[in-house]
């Protein structure tokens, strides 16, 4: 005969379940923290005007009114930031395939990026763990035993199934799950930040290497020119037409150029070693073949508007998701101060013979309510901690937004200023070349002093080197703008 449950007990159980269902709708209200910052509608009008008419696809600029940066914990992670370009061919806009190849190499070999990807996998696992509290836990057990006392032998067989479930009456478990999901999104944006930083670092260091190689070539040419003039001075000295002072002065200039060449060669080796570290490879396995900065195309990037940074910068998106996780943590800490309702159920069977195992099953169903009474301030302290952490992350979010706008403004200012400096430097270099040519020619025929030739040489050497330095700085400023705008060329 099967066991039956009395009607009175069924009514009690039904009443309890209805009460539980009603309590389940009484969740703790969640805060929605906003950054509370008013963003400017555009960057500097003067700089933006000079950056107009881009020669490559723009970064989707759009006209917006001054906006207020906000966030809500309920925002989807896709709304927090657009994905970064994953294709190294985006860097082919600089017109150099070597750069794109090195960036692709960095994406597969850099240790920092590999560590960031591992952190994402850790966050994914933690999110699964946090979500498990919203579902029941079911356990099964089985046992078999045999005992003997004097001449009597007995067997015992048993099996059981138990389940427990904590009703998420106040929404604390759901808040913990949402916090874990927001942290997962933040970790993914952290990975994107590492990738963007790595990509920009590889581009900048590669350009630094190319610039160092070009400066080395110029130093070598300048040394050759100085040695050519020294040969002329020696000829005039042997003929009694030049003084020992003039000969010593030119020899000193040659020695200075040799020292400069050695320094430039060291710069090349150092830059190439730094590039190898970024790629996660030994320095001897990395070679840069591009020798001139003119082999790199200079591009124009439209910066868009400051509000775009909220959806492009992965570090801003990271800060926003961390703040969303903090909101959820506050809700979870608040729910922990309230009573907890746990349901347990179980069924078990036992017999001294296997065939009679299910003859007399036993079951139990219970509900337990646990409320904190005294914990020496542990739970209230955890709540205060969550509030303070949210305040910290709110400040970090605001700082990330302001820093992002500042980074773009600095990059735009650098590009604008360097373009003007290069234009002036081109004229200075042309005049320095002409002055060096005229002074050497006049000195050859005795119409000019060596002091004038030396001064013209030094001016030309400095102008040539400055031209490369300014060109390198302009290219690196374009990379800085790419990074500051979140890496989105479109």
Q: Please, what's the b/e burial string for 200-219 (b: 16 or more CB within 10 A of its CB; e: otherwise)?
A: bbbbbbbbbbbbbbbbbebb
Strand-strand pairing, 362-370 and 37-39: unpaired
- pLDDT at position 74: 35
Among 105, 80, 78, 100, residue whose Cα is nearest residue 88: 100
- pLDDT at position 90: 61
- pLDDT at position 446: 81
Cα gap 469→484, rounded to integer Å? 22
The greatest distance separating any two alpha carbons of the chain, rounded to the nearest whole angstrom, comes to: 134
Token pair 């650098």 is found at 414
- pLDDT at position 66: 37
- pLDDT at position 28: 62
Note whether 342 and 370 are within 8 A (CB).
yes
- Which letter does DSSP use for residue 293 in this model? G
Report the number of secondary-structure helices (H) and strands (E) in the chain: 11, 6
Partners of 167 in beta bridges: 341
- pLDDT at position 77: 35
Cut 0.85: pTM above it: no
- pLDDT at position 9: 52
Show Cβ contacts of residue 466 under 8 Å, excluding neighbours closer than 6 positions: 425, 428, 429
H helices within 240-377, ranges in order? 244-279, 309-312, 314-335
CATH fold for domain 7-484: Outer membrane efflux proteins (OEP) (1.20.1600)
The domains of the chain are located at 7-484
Show Cβ contacts of residue 6 under 8 Å, excluding neighbours closer than 6 positions: none
Find the Cα–Cα–Cα–Cα dihedral 225, 226, 231, 234, rounded to 10°. 160
Show Cβ contacts of residue 23 under 8 Å, excluding neighbours closer than 6 positions: 167, 169, 341
Encoded tokens for 117 = 């990807």
- pLDDT at position 57: 32
- What's the distance, Cα to Cα, between the start and end of the chain in Å? 75
The per-residue pLDDT string of the chain (490 residues; one tens digit each, 9 = 90 and over) reads 444 555 555 555 555 555 555 554 555 667 777 777 777 777 764 455 544 443 333 333 333 333 445 444 334 333 333 344 444 446 667 878 899 889 989 988 899 999 999 999 999 999 999 999 899 999 999 888 888 776 777 788 888 999 999 988 888 999 999 999 999 999 999 999 999 999 999 999 999 999 999 999 999 988 998 898 889 889 888 888 888 998 898 899 899 999 999 999 999 999 999 999 999 999 888 889 999 999 988 877 776 777 777 778 899 999 999 999 999 999 999 998 999 889 999 988 887 777 777 777 888 888 888 888 888 999 999 999 999 999 999 999 999 999 999 998 899 999 999 999 999 999 999 999 999 899 988 888 888 887 888 888 889 998 999 999 999 999 999 999 888 888 754 3
Encoded tokens for 443 = 């000195």
- pLDDT at position 154: 79
Show Cβ contacts of residue 311 under 8 Å, excluding neighbours closer than 6 positions: 79, 80, 81, 82, 317
Encoded tokens for 360 = 């007399």
């Amino acid at each position: 005969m099967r066991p039956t449950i009395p009607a009175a007990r069924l009514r009690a159980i039904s009443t309890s379940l209805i009460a539980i269902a009603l309590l389940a709708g009484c969740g703790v209200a969640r805060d929605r923290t906003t950054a509370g910052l008013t963003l400017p509608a555009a960057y500097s009008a003067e700089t933006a005007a000079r950056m107009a008419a881009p020669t490559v696809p723009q970064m989707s600029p759009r006209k917006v009114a001054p906006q207020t940066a906000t966030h809500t914990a309920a925002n989807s992670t896709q709304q927090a930031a657009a994905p970064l370009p994953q294709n190294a061919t985006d860097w082919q806009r600089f017109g150099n395939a070597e750069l794109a190849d090195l960036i692709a190499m960095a994406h597969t070999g850099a240790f920092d990026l590999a560590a960031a990807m591992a952190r994402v996998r850790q966050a994914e696992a933690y999110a699964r763990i946090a979500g498990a509290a919203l579902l029941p836990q079911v356990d099964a057990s089985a046992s078999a035993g045999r005992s003997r006392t004097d001449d009597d032998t007995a067997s015992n067989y048993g099996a059981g199934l138990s389940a427990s479930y904590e009703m998420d009456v106040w929404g604390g478990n759901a808040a913990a799950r949402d916090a874990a999901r927001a942290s997962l999104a933040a970790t993914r944006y952290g990975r994107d930040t590492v990738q963007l930083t790595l990509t920009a670092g590889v581009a900048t260091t590669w350009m630094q290497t190319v610039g160092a190689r070009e400066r080395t070539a110029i130093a070598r040419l300048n040394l050759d020119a100085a040695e050519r003039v020294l040969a002329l001075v020696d000829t005039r000295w042997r003929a009694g037409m030049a003084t020992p002072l003039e000969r010593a002065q030119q020899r000193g200039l040659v020695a200075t150029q040799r020292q400069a060449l050695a320094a430039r060669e060291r710069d090349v080796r150092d830059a190439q070693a730094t590039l190898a570290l970024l790629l996660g490879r030994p320095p001897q396995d990395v070679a840069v073949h591009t020798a001139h900065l003119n082999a790199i195309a200079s591009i124009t990037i439209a910066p868009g508007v400051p509000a775009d940074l909220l959806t492009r910068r992965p570090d801003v998106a990271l800060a926003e998701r961390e703040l969303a996780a903090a909101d959820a943590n506050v809700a979870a800490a608040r729910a922990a101060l309230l009573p907890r309702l746990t349901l347990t159920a179980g069924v078990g069977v036992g017999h001294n013979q296997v065939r009679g195992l299910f003859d007399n099953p036993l079951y139990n169903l219970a509900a337990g309510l646990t409320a904190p009474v005294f914990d020496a301030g542990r739970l209230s302290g955890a709540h205060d901690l969550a509030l303070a952490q949210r305040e910290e992350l709110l400040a970090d979010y605001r700082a990330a937004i302001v820093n992002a706008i500042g980074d773009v403004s600095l990059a735009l200012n650098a590009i604008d200023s360097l373009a003007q400096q290069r234009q002036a430097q081109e004229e200075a270099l042309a005049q320095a070349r002409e002055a060096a040519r005229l002074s050497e020619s006049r000195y050859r025929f005795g119409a000019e002093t060596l002091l004038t030739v030396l001064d013209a040489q030094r001016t030309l050497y400095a102008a040539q080197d400055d031209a490369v330095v300014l060109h390198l700085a302009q290219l690196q400023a374009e990379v800085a703008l790419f990074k500051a705008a979140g890496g989105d060329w479109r």
